[in-house]
Structure 1
Amino acid sequence: MACSQTASGFRCFTALRSRRGLTSVARAAAGPTAAYVHLPFCKRKCFYCDFPVEAVGLNTEKPRTQDRMQAYVDLVCAELKATRSLTDAPLTTVSFGGGTPSLVPPQLLESILSALQQQFGIAAGAEVSIEADPGTFDLQRLLQYKALGVTRVSMGVQSFQEDLLKACGRSHSLADVYAAIEAVTATGLPSWSLDLISGLPGLSLQGWQHSLQQAVAAGPDHISVYDLQVEEGTPFARWFSVEGSPLPKEPEAVAMFEAASATLTAAGYEHYEISNYAKPGHRSKHNQVYWQCQPYYAFGLGAASYTRGRRFSRPRGMQEYEAWVKRFVQGGAGCPAAELPVESKEEQLLDVIMLSLRLSDGLALQQLQQQYGQETVAALLPTIQGFLQQGLMQVLPCDAQDVQQAEDAIVPGLSGSSGTVEVDADAAYMQLCDRLQRGKDVSVRLTDPAGFLLSNDVISELFAQLDSRTLSKAL
């Protein structure tokens, strides 16, 4: 199971992302070509987890458990069959999340994929991904998933230390991890990902570096690195709310983030999002739907969808979700939350700033200016200039001329603490303003790791510049 990511002292905006929408009115009106399906079953609930899941025990082959899975899949299929297609384009990404989707038998996954195909269509070459935990699958099951059209597996390893797996309540062992890596490698899938969690109780920097090295040695195409977030209502929240907590302190958490960036980029992974690294051509297409503020369908317990500018989260309790599906099917609305108001343009503006700066592709200022007016960008520029001077932001070259200007801005003989060359911030800012004045594309991004580490502060400061007067003129 993947984790939401919030680093101690440098919180990211995953929680905000879960309730915010699109970057423009045009995108808000666009039809989704992505679908998320929540499969909530787990052997046991991890001590840090606050996701809507249902623990079914270690023996998942019991008839009662299999019947429960069948009943839930029938419910999900009923929901998606009652959901109206909002575009003529087929789905280009499908993501099965959880929970532990790899507990679900292949024939039940086939039922959902068949329903998706019938209702919306699935494009040839679509990315179909499934989250999988070690100890819940073998090579045969993965090959069956592959035969159904699964193209990507995201494996929740979390740690390469046996004691930490036990400490956070994982149901798998280190032996399961290595067996799972061997199995997923043998499938020949186009892409697979491996998840790690930093900030676990008792985790040292040395232990973290060991996990990073083992992850690289496993050879995944993609690695996600999440910092533990202690959520209210979880065992961790009860156990670690007092002084003397075994959770790493902020300096250690920062060192772990820096170690991940240094180790994984040196191994050839692109740090393309605050928590995600990919080899060339292996970015998560489905997750980019969220980060690029595009609409998407969602189905299942607690799942959040975004369609036609409206975000809607389904009930998190199984009985409540079942009752909601029955009302939805009988009501014949065809589109959940159709009665809700469309997100405001102000919310959309905050979204595009927040989510774009999570990505290495950065924030496109010319596009921002076209969508939200010159006043908006003008209000942000002084703060952007300050972050350029602090080394927390950089201007992205957009064409050959920009590349030359960027090279001319390099300060000879100097390098930053991360080993990268220093750039004249004033020259970079002049380049940025010149391109804006000429109506040319120009983007700014957070530096890695310094800017990413302080993303919360940077984004909050940018938000603060958009006062009510500026927003009223722009929007």
Structure 2
Amino acid sequence: MIASPASAYIHIPFCRRRCFYCDFPISVLGNHQRGETSGTVESYVDQLCEEIAATPKLNEHPLQTVFFGGGTPSLVSVPQLEQILAQLDQHLGIDPTAEISMEMDPGTFDLEHLQGYLAAGITRISLGVQALDDTTLESCGRYHRVVDVYRAVDWLHQVAMPNWSLDLISGLPHQTLTDWEIGLFKAVALHPHHLSIYDLTVEPQTVFAKRYQPGDQPLPTDEQTAAMYRLAQALLTAQGYEHYEVSNYAQPKHQCQHNLTYWRNQPYYGFGLGATSYTQLQRVSRPRTLATYGDWVTEFQAAGGIHSEPPTPTLEQLLDRLMLGLRLKEGISGDEVRSLCDPATWNTLRSALNPHIAQGWVMLEGDTWDTLQRLRLSDPEGFLFSNVVLSDCFRAIDDLIDS
């Protein structure tokens, strides 16, 4: 039986400017426009609602999580946010206790906006801080400065925000281990309920890709970024945060429920430019520019909300499950792994993972493969070398497919 979606991701693509590391599908508004004053934003919100209305209702129960990502969702006006939530609730239903998250960048909202977003239904804020040093922020092309961070956090405390997260990036140009440690202590002192810690990836076609080669100065070396990862794990867990996912830490009862949907490979709706949905074992990606997205919505409406993509093959489901599930501290259940493996695939997977079990990066709960209850990575070393583990799994299974 195919599970029904209980989550929805909404992409808001607008930003003040494009950060130097960013390859997300965004549209730059400049330093002064926002949803209240931009016809582009207004038109996009209307198209977004048209896509929602045209999408077949597959969920058996109201949505349990909604996530507004971007881009910079805090550039939409309160009425525009209300319009999107009303369309979602009317068409798919939103549970009264649902986690409704919104990414917000310091410097793009004020206390009145924050109060309006909460009144509209937002229950969780993800604050895109990235660094707590002005020189580093400037070197990344960020719009905001540290003073904006502290003002935004003060507003979050004023409204007694029950659940908010803070994002940081490690491995930035000129960043030292001492810089990183100071930033972590500053972040913890702000008392977020949740922290997301991302290691810089130099993506093709970004400003950073034109300036730097990975591993070359002024970027930290691989050894230095590994030390930053270990330091964050030690410092944050000592402060009471659970390292529940490769890049995420949470106080008790403050894990991001929406993101757990992804990592557990559960179905979800995706709406908006560049968004991906995963329903009925199909992953469907939307176009990445405003013009092509608008045309796509028109065609989607004309087709009656039908996608033509075939279901994902079982071996690809297994690879997805490994890639996503091993990001979690809880890992993957043995029964689930077995359900996606025929005998040849099971033996191939065992052979690929056994060297990493010997290294201590992969853990078997249940002691042996025959009694496997859960498969997970160790913390921090297994998490740190997760790409190595997954690459070996993918290569072995690809060889099996080709044989």
1:53 paired residue number: 26
Whether 2:313 is the aligned partner of 1:344: answer yes
1:321 and 2:323 aligned:
no
Aligned to 1:449: 380
Q: Is 2:223 aligned against 1:251?
A: yes
Displacement of 1:138 in angstroms is 2.1
Give the secondary structure class of the aligned counterpart of 2:278: strand
What CA deviation, in whole Å up to 9, does each residue of 1:345-380 have, x standing for no partner?
110011112222111111322332244245433433
Contact 2:173 2:219 survives alignment (8 Å): yes
Q: Deviations over 1:137-191 (max 9, x none)?
A: 2222112111111110000000011100000011001100111111112222321
1:297 to partner: Cα distance: 0.8
TM-aligned CA deviation for residue 312 of structure 1: 1.3
Instruction: Give 2:368's aligned residue.
Output: 432
Partner amino acid, structure 2, of 1:31: S
Task: Establish whether residue 367 from structure 1 lines up as the match of residue 336 from structure 2.
Answer: yes
How big is the shift at 1:241?
A: 3.6
Q: Distance in 2 between matches of 1:467 and 1:314?
A: 27
User: Is this contact kept in 2: 1:42–1:56, CA < 8 A?
Assistant: yes
Picking from 303, 308, 327, the partner of 2:280 is 308
Is 2:324 the counterpart of 1:355? yes
Q: Is the CA contact (8 Å cut-off) linking 1:82 and 1:328 kept in structure 2?
A: yes
CA distance in 1, matches of 2:327, 2:215: 32
The one-letter code sitting in structure 2 at the alignment partner of 1:35 is A
Q: Is the 8 A contact 2:325 2:331 kept in 1?
A: yes
**2:105 matches 1:169:** no
Counterpart of 1:349, as a letter, is: L
Query: What SS does the aligned partner of 1:109 have?
Result: helix
Q: Quickly say closer, same or farther: Cα 1:467–1:75, change in 2 above 3 A.
A: closer
Q: CA deviation at 1:48?
A: 1.1
Give 3-state SS (helix, strand or coil) of 1:107's partner. helix
Q: Is the 8 A contact 1:358 1:452 kept in 2?
A: yes
Change beyond 3 A, Cα 1:471–1:446: farther
Name the structure 1 match of 2:153: 181
Provide closer, same or farther for how the CA distance between residues 61 and 121 of structure 1 changes in structure 2, counting only shifts above 3 A. closer
1:218 Cα deviation after fit: 0.8
Give 1:422's aligned residue.
Answer: none
Number of aligned residue pairs:
403
Q: Does 1:133 align with 2:64?
A: no
Q: CA deviation at 1:38?
A: 0.7
Asked if 1:389 corresponds to 2:358, the answer is yes
Partner of 1:420: none
- Partner SS for 2:169: strand
Whole-angstrom distance in 1 between the partners of 2:317 and 2:53 = 30
1:222-301 correspondence runs (5 A): 222-241=194-213, 245-301=217-273
Matches of 1:62 and 1:372, distance apart in 2 = 48
Q: Structure 2: which amino acid aligns with 1:391?
A: G
CA contact (8 A) 1:376 1:470 kept: no
2:9 pairs with 1:36:
yes
| Contact 2:215-2:221 within 8 A present in 1 as well | no
Q: Secondary structure at the match of 1:131?
A: strand
Q: 1:379–1:470: 8 Å Cα contact kept in structure 2?
A: no
Letter in 2 for 1:295: P
Identify if the C-alpha distance between structure 1 residues 30 and 363 changes in structure 2 by more than 3 Å, giving closer, same or farther.
closer
Query: Aligned residue for 1:417?
Result: none
1:108-156 deviation per Cα after TM superposition (whole angstroms, max 9, x unaligned): 0000000000000001210100000001122221121111111100000
Partner deviation per Cα, 1:250-308 (whole Å, 9 max, x = no partner): 11111111111111111111111111111111111111111111111111111111121
* CA distance in 2 between partners of 1:382 and 1:284 (Å): 34
Deviation at residue 101 of structure 1 after TM alignment: 0.4
Partner letter of residue 443 of structure 1?
R
1:156 aligns to 2:136 (yes or no): no
Distance in 2, matches of 1:194 and 1:469, equals: 42
One-letter amino acid of the structure 1 residue matched with residue 371 of structure 2: R
Partner of 1:130: helix, strand, or coil? strand
Alpha-carbon distance between aligned partners in 2 of 1:389 and 1:331, rounded to the nearest angstrom? 53
CA deviation after TM superposition for structure 1 residue 382, in Å: 4.6
Which TM-score applies when normalising by structure 2?
Answer: 0.95
For 1:384 and 1:239, how far apart are their aligned partners in 2?
A: 37
Greater Rg over alpha carbons, structure: 1
CA shift, 1:444, in A, is 2.6
C-alpha contact 1:375 1:470 (8 A) present in aligned 2? no
Q: 1:300 to 1:61 in 2, by over 3 A?
A: closer
In 2, the alpha carbon distance for the partners of 1:325 and 1:467 equals 35
Structure 2 gaps, min length 5: none
Unaligned residue ranges in structure 1 (runs of 5+): 1-25, 398-430, 437-441
Distance in 2 separating the partners of 1:369 and 1:471: 21
Distance 1:294 1:449 in 2: 25
Which amino acid letter does the alignment assign opposite residue 254 of structure 1? A
**CA 1:289–1:244 in structure 2 vs 1: closer, same or farther (change >3 Å)?**
closer
CA-atom RMSD in angstroms: 2.0
| Distance change >3 Å, CA 74–CA 375, structure 1 → 2 | same
Give the Cα separation in 1 of the matches to 2:214 and 2:104.
Answer: 33
Where relative contact order (Cα < 8 A, 6+ residues apart) is larger, the structure is 1
Alignment of 1:452-471 (within 5 A): 452-466=383-397
Match of 2:62 in 1: 90
CA distance in 2, matches of 1:95, 1:279: 20
Match of 2:45 in 1: 73
Q: Is the 8 A contact 1:369 1:376 kept in 2?
A: no
Would you say the 8 A contact 1:272–1:278 is kept in 2?
A: yes
Are the structure 2 counterparts of residues 392 and 329 from structure 1 closer, same or farther at C-alpha, using a change threshold of 3 Å? same
